[in-house]
Structures are given as C-alpha cells and as structure tokens.
C-alpha cells in the first residue's frame, strides 16, 4: 500500500552564530538563514529535512523556501514517499537547479523510510563501512588569535584536522596564519581553502608558496568556470588540490576526472541535491580513483545527520568531514539531541531514519516564516 505524503510544512529560520566567519567568497557576522522541512505521511510518520543555502553557491534561504513551497510541494504532496528515486527525478523535471531545496525534501523522504522500517538511513544505503568520521574544523574567524586558542583546545580534545580559510587577507597573512597553526598544532593535518578567492593570473604563483608547508590539500583556489587554471595548478603542485565549487554533479565529476581538474573533491548534499545525486558523483570519483571529502555550507544537525549516513555507507568519502557547525559555530541548533561527536570524530547516528528529532522551543524562537 502506498505511503502517501499527506502534508508538507516549510519552516524558514534564522540561526545565530557564535563567531564571525570570513571566507574567500564572503563573510558571515551574525546569522545564517536555513529552511527546516517536515513531511507527514497519512499514517503519521514524520520525516525531517534541512536546507542551508549560501548565496555564493547560488541560493538563499528565501529562494530555497519558495522552491520547496512551490514546485517541489506540487511534486511531493500526495505522492508515495517510498518512491524516493522517482521523486528525485520528478523534482529535477519540475525545477531546474535549487539543489539545496531538493536535498531537504529527499532527506525527509529517507527519514520516513528509515522510521518506517526501524533502521538508520545508512542501512538503506547498503550498510555502514565506518561508524565514525574524522572531523575537520575550519579556521575562519577574523580574530585569528581566538582561532588559535580554539585549535589548541580542540587538538587537546582529539581533533586532528584543521582547514584554514585563505584568500580574504594578504598572501603574507595567509602564510603567517598557516605557519602559526603548524607551530600550535604540530601533529595536525592542516589544509587550506581559498573558496575561489584567487585571481587566475596569480593563483599558481601564490599556491606554489604553500607547497613547502606539507598541507593535506589546497581547496578551490580559483573561481568556478576557471577549471583550466585549476587543472594547471593541480598538475604543477606536490600538494593535492581539491575541487569544491567546480564540481556539483556526476557530470562535472566526470569532467574533473577526464581533464585532471583536481586530485580530490568535496561532496556536499547542498551542492549535489541530496543523497542519491551525491552518490552518483562519488561513484564517478570512485571509478576514477579520486578520493572525496564531506563538505558543508551552514547545515545544522538534521542535514549533517543525512550527510553522515551518506559517508558511513560510502567507502570513497574517506578524507574526513567538516560537520562542526552544530557544536562550534551555531549558537544553538533546532535538534533536540546534540550532534554526536566522539573525540576528534563525528559518530554516525544509529537511530531510526536520520536519528534526529526537533527541539520545538528553539525552532519557534528562530522561526521567520512557516508555510503549510
């Protein structure tokens, strides 16, 4: 018997952040906009989803909420929630782009499926190959001294990966920050992320200066659309180069593999449009021998639970994850339970579905608008 989606509720929220964040593609000082989604089936199962868009990647919380409330509501309400692949195809047919909106809807469908069967989502994806995922924290506070203190404390808690956001200060500042972090955390895997912040004519020259630092990777030094330059940098450096904004889809992953854009790629549900599309992209990377990484935008515990389930069931996503937002950046989240960290890693949730529930009081406090 079909498991029909009876009702959809779209909740637009603003979440306060506990620290300023600066990136090569923009800065956040006070709040991030997110969209929380509830799907309710005819027999009372609730599925949760979350979208955390960021304008430099193409959408805002308002455009995402409108996409869910409009074209995607028409696809999902009244549909059989068990037909996830068919609904993903239908969403792509109904609306071009808006991967964040589609990811939120799809993860709510997976949540329903897992709750229906009483198993975690990763069991529906083939089962877990890992129960924990190494955690990377991004050094992005304009107050670098404060970030050094954080890194020192986090290293004491077992966190062994730090990614320095570069490209928004001078090149000399970037080198100084990377060197200072190495002195503070000598055993850490240190990475650099330009977030598209370098001009193509100077990117290779500047990145060469990072080569002697022994970094784990240099992420997206130039803008999306400048993949020829990205490939030249990847070919010239000893340090691995990671693609992020250049690769959203399986098609772009194939282009990356064929043209040698990068040595590794960041997989994000908000880029790919959900678990199924992310798995398609990772399958191409796996076939090409390109390791992948669990990236994020501004997700809280709902979306990061979905991403953790994906990584748990995906052997190739082996370079760790940056799922630190709920504990270290968001002043508070809308999930009732703290996001599960264990030492220097994320512990994959093991409850039915996504394994998260809502904190209704926090949700009401952060609510901007509700539809449905």
- DSSP of 188-245: SEEEEE-TT-S-HHHHHHHHHTTGGG--S-EE--S-TT-HHHHHHHHHH-SS-EEEST
What pLDDT score does 30 carry?
83
Q: What is the mean pLDDT of the chain?
A: 95
* DSSP character string of 9-44: EEEEEEEEBSS-EEETTEEESSEEEEEEEEEEETTS
Q: Which residue has the higher pLDDT, 115 or 21?
A: 115
CA 65 to chain centre: 18
What pLDDT score does 234 carry?
98
Helices (H), the chain: 61-67, 73-76, 84-94, 99-117, 121-124, 144-156, 171-184, 200-208, 227-236, 250-259, 269-272, 275-288, 301-312, 360-366
Average pLDDT over residues 287-300: 96
Q: In the chain, which segments carry CATH 3.20.20.120?
A: 123-347
Average pLDDT over residues 240-245: 98
CA distance 193 to 25: 11
Residue for token digits 């000082």? 29
**pTM score, whole prediction:** 0.96
Q: Which CATH class is domain 123-347?
A: alpha beta
Residues 317 and 268: beta-carbon distance below 8 Å: no
Q: In the chain, which segments carry CATH 3.30.390.10?
A: 5-118+358-371
CA distance 135 to 8: 33
Spell out the residues 6+ positions from residue 195 whose beta carbon is closer than 8 angstroms to its own. Answer: 23, 24, 25, 26, 56, 165, 167, 219, 220, 244, 245
> How buried is 203 (Cβ within 10 angstroms: 0-12 exposed, 13-18 middle, 19+ buried)?
buried
Q: Which of 32, 1, 5, 14 is nearest to 91 (CA)?
A: 5
Residues 190 and 212: beta-carbon distance below 8 Å: no
> Which fold would CATH assign to domain 5-118+358-371?
Enolase-like; domain 1 (3.30.390)
Which is it for strands 218-219 and 189-193: parallel, antiparallel or unpaired? parallel
Residues 191 and 216: beta-carbon distance below 8 Å: yes
Average pLDDT over residues 302-320: 98
Does the pLDDT of residue 1 top 60, yes or no? no
Residues 173 and 24: beta-carbon distance below 8 Å: no
Q: Which of 177, 186, 176 is nearest to 152 (CA)?
A: 186
β-pair partners for 38? 9, 48
What pLDDT score does 28 carry?
67
Could you tell me what percent of the chain has a pLDDT over 70? 97
Does the pLDDT of residue 29 top 70, yes or no? no
CA angle 194, 60, 112 (to 5 degrees): 105
Residues 322 and 295: beta-carbon distance below 8 Å: yes
Residues 36 and 49: beta-carbon distance below 8 Å: yes
CA distance 14 to 275: 24
Could you tell me what percent of the chain has a pLDDT over 90? 91
CA angle 223, 227, 230 (to 5 degrees): 85
pLDDT grade for 257, boundaries at 50, 70 and 90: very high
Judged by average pLDDT, the poorest of 25-34, 194-203, 288-297, 326-335 is 25-34
Does the pLDDT of residue 6 top 90, yes or no? yes
Per-residue buried b or exposed e for 355-367, using 16+ beta carbons within 10 Å of the residue's own CB: bbbbbeebbeebe
The predicted-structure confidence for 125-174, as pLDDT tens digits, reads as follows 999 999 999 999 999 888 899 999 999 999 999 999 999 999 989 999 99
Average pLDDT over residues 278-303: 97
What pLDDT score does 356 carry?
98
Helices (H), 313-367: 360-366
β-pair partners for 135? 321
What pLDDT score does 26 carry?
61
pLDDT grade for 3, boundaries at 50, 70 and 90: confident
């Amino acid at each position: 018997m079909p498991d029909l989606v009876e009702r959809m509720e779209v909740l637009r929220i603003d979440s306060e952040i506990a620290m300023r964040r600066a990136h090569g593609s923009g800065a956040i000082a006070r709040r991030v906009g997110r969209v929380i989604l509830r799907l309710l089936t005819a027999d009372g199962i609730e599925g949760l989803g979350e979208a955390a868009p960021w304008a430099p990647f193409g959408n805002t919380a308002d455009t995402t909420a409108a996409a869910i409330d409009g074209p995607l509501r028409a696809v999902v309400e009244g549909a059989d929630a068990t037909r996830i692949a068919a609904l993903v195809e239908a969403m792509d047919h109904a609306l071009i782009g808006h991967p964040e909106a589609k990811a939120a809807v799809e993860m709510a469908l997976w949540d329903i499926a897992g709750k229906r069967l009483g198993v975690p989502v990763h069991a529906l994806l083939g089962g877990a190959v890992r129960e924990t995922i190494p955690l990377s924290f991004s050094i992005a506070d304009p107050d670098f001294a404060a970030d050094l203190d954080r890194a020192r404390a986090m290293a004491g808690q077992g966190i062994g990966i730090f990614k320095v956001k570069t490209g928004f200060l001078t090149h000399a500042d970037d080198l100084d920050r990377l060197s200072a972090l190495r002195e503070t955390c000598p055993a850490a895997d240190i990475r650099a992320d330009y977030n598209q912040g370098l001009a193509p004519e100077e990117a290779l020259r500047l990145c060469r200066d990072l080569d002697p630092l022994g970094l784990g990777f240099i992420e997206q030094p130039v803008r999306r659309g400048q993949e020829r330059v990205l490939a030249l940098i990847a070919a010239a450096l000893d340090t691995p180069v990671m693609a992020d904004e250049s690769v959203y889809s399986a098609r772009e992953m194939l282009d990356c593999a064929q043209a040698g854009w990068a040595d590794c790629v960041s997989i994000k549900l908000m880029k790919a449009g959900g678990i199924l599309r992310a798995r398609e992209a990772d399958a191409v990377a796996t076939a090409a021998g390109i390791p992948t990484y669990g990236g994020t935008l501004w997700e809280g515990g709902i979306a990061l639970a979905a991403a953790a389930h994906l990584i748990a069931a995906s052997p190739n996503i082996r370079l760790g994850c940056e799922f630190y937002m709920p504990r270290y950046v968001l002043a508070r989240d809308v999930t009732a339970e703290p996001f599960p960290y264990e030492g220097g890693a994320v512990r994959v949730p093991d409850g039915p579905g996504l394994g998260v529930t809502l904190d209704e009081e926090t949700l009401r406090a952060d609510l901007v608008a509700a539809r449905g």
